[in-house]
Structure 1
Amino acid sequence: MELLKPSVDFVFKRIFGIEENKDILLDFLNAVFESANEPGVTEIEILNPYLDKTTVYDKMSVLDIKARTASGTLINIEIQLRDQQDMEKRSLYYWARMYGSQLVQGEIYRSLCRTVTINILGFNYIDNDRYHNTFHLREDSTGLILTNDIEIHMIELQKLREIAVGQQRKLVRWTLFLLGPGQERMEELAMEEPAIKKALTTLEFLSQDREARELYEARQKAIHDWNSNIHGAREDGREKGERFKAIEVAQNMLSEGMEVELVARLTGLTHEEINGLRKEMPH
């Protein structure tokens, strides 16, 4: 049996974002905080548990996990496997939405709680060799933190695959699990961590469930189609831009009195197109 990829957002949310697996989510979060040398949490509430299967078919839906700790800290976890070249802005946007959503009319700013964004990336994005980077709002010269309310984590799966990392940190083992290294290696990880063992059991169940596999494939197809359409639109725009530039160059060359044959050879436009441009030019 081929296991589904736990790094696909639908599968990730189905493993970590259901009430029955709240202990798995807690273990993963504490692994992230341990890696960042921060205190762990003892209790969490999942704010958007996995319920609505129809969202899987929506290629634009964000299958993230939102949670709140006992102290009120808000946490948003999102998996992004494809580089859209906008991760830092996307992170700030979702962080700001979650942070601002705490206030209702009449409440004071002091009541706002720390908000943490955790991004799990299937591509390299941060320009260093660390697979886990944590960002805060600091003063440039002294490193003094202005506030602990903003915290953004970037966990880059491919960096862990590329570099030699010891197994001592819990987050390393969780990251290896998300990479989906194969059944045998998965079982080794499960032997090392009870929470990973439970996650693997959920993954194995999902991988055998016909409906879950259909949803998985539908989600993959929807995302693939959306990416293909975006790529096609970009290519179309690039081609139109190149054609516009060729026409502009041809017009300049014709205004300098160059022959049609030379203009065609240098711009790639046809003789008919160039003659048409010449007729439109003012005499």
Structure 2
Amino acid sequence: MELILLVEMLDPRNDFLFKRIFGSEENRDVLLTFLNRTFEEAGKPPLTEIILLNPYTDKDAPRDKQSILDIRARTLEGQLINVEMQLFNKYDMDKRTLFYWSKQYAGQLYEGQSYKLLRKCVTINILNYSFLPNGRYHNVFHLTEDRTGIPFSDDMELHFLELPKLDEQVVPAGRGGLVNWLLFLKGINPSQWEVLAMNEPGLKKAMTTLEFLSQDKEARLQYEARQKYLHDEASMIEGAREEGERQKALEIARNMLNMGLEIEVIVKASGLSESEVRALKA
């Protein structure tokens, strides 16, 4: 495969760019192959076809900065699949996942319709940060009974694909599968794309799309606008988290001062400086 490296390659982890590559009608086959590699690794049967429910359009451009650029699809059997790329940690990912999964599940029915019409909903979160406390880059969750493991319902299926847990230095030569797709998304050096494409021929179209978008002036402007918004949003979230932690530390210090504890003990317990604790005492 001939690679065009005259311009800097854009980052496919940007959700706007991710949807352009995987969520457009002309690249529906790319999404189908990616989904099948994801399900194959989880021991699930492959899909034969999917229907895009919100294919990429010009309305998905980052002018509406509050938009969620996810990908929603339906299988021929009626199962719903939602794929979302998260470049930065917005925190409370567990509750956020359940909230959007429940909206997708409940949104299948109109008033008065039977619960029997509800179909399985699958959420696939691709995360650019570590979320779960293990070393696996692909984790899958279902509803099961604690002691026996028997399933309560197969209608819920949650996938978490964590890109930082991949070793991008180890390109699996001769080995197909999901890991190749995730290395591409993580932004592995294009000099190694050829190996990935040999492992996974379906990746060639995704790579060609990324090459084209990286050279398209309008696409770069939209990408940069979205990238700026995502960075600003991440900074605000991190700032709010740090402010919340500081307020918690101040509250701990106040309570310990009221208990009459030594300043040295309070400094160690709260993480505040000695001058900050003395100012509180004053």
SS at match of 1:154: strand
- Aligned with residue 150 of structure 2, among 135, 144, 149: 144
Match of 1:69 in 2: 75
**Could you tell me whether the CA contact under 8 Å between 2:38 and 2:178 is conserved in 1?**
yes
For 2:140 and 2:244, locate their aligned partners in 1 and report how far apart those are by CA, in whole Å: 36
- Gapped runs of 5+ residues in structure 2? 1-6, 261-273
Query: What aligned pairs does 1:171-186 form with structure 2 within 5 A after superposition?
Result: 171-186=178-193
Range 228-237 or range 183-192, more displaced: 228-237
Match of 2:9 in 1: 3
For 1:162 and 1:188, locate their aligned partners in 2 and report how far apart those are by CA, in whole Å: 13
AA paired with 1:198? K
For 2:235 and 2:259, locate their aligned partners in 1 and report how far apart those are by CA, in whole Å: 36
Quote the offset at 1:193 in angstroms. Answer: 2.5
Quote the offset at 1:229 in angstroms. Answer: 2.2
Quote the offset at 1:73 in angstroms. Answer: 0.6
Q: Output the TM-score relative to the length of structure 2.
A: 0.84
C-alpha change, 1:212 and 1:172, in structure 2 (3 Å) is: same
Quote the offset at 1:234 in angstroms. Answer: 3.8
For 1:104 and 1:25, locate their aligned partners in 2 and report how far apart those are by CA, in whole Å: 29
Larger Rg: 1
For 2:100 and 2:275, locate their aligned partners in 1 and report how far apart those are by CA, in whole Å: 50
C-alpha change, 1:110 and 1:163, in structure 2 (3 Å) is: farther
How far does the alpha carbon of each residue in 1:197-248 deviate from its partner, in whole angstroms, 9 at most, with x for none? 0110100000000111111111111111122223333444555565667677
**Could you tell me whether the CA contact under 8 Å between 1:55 and 1:61 is conserved in 2?**
no
For 1:238 and 1:170, locate their aligned partners in 2 and report how far apart those are by CA, in whole Å: 41
C-alpha change, 1:238 and 1:86, in structure 2 (3 Å) is: closer
Range 109-118 or range 219-228, more displaced: 219-228
AA paired with 2:17? V
**Could you tell me whether the CA contact under 8 Å between 1:114 and 1:148 is conserved in 2?**
yes
SS at match of 2:239: helix
For 2:247 and 2:99, locate their aligned partners in 1 and report how far apart those are by CA, in whole Å: 32
Query: What aligned pairs does 1:76-225 form with structure 2 within 5 A after superposition?
Result: 76-161=82-167, 166=172, 168-225=175-232
SS at match of 2:158: strand
Aligned-residue RMSD, C-alpha: 2.5
- Aligned with residue 279 of structure 2, among 249, 261, 269: 269
For 1:223 and 1:113, locate their aligned partners in 2 and report how far apart those are by CA, in whole Å: 33
For 1:165 and 1:36, locate their aligned partners in 2 and report how far apart those are by CA, in whole Å: 21
For 2:275 and 2:23, locate their aligned partners in 1 and report how far apart those are by CA, in whole Å: 60
**Could you tell me whether the CA contact under 8 Å between 1:57 and 1:222 is conserved in 2?**
no
- Gapped runs of 5+ residues in structure 1? 254-263, 275-283
Match of 2:233 in 1: 226
Give aligned-pair identity as a percent.
Answer: 51
Higher helix share: 1
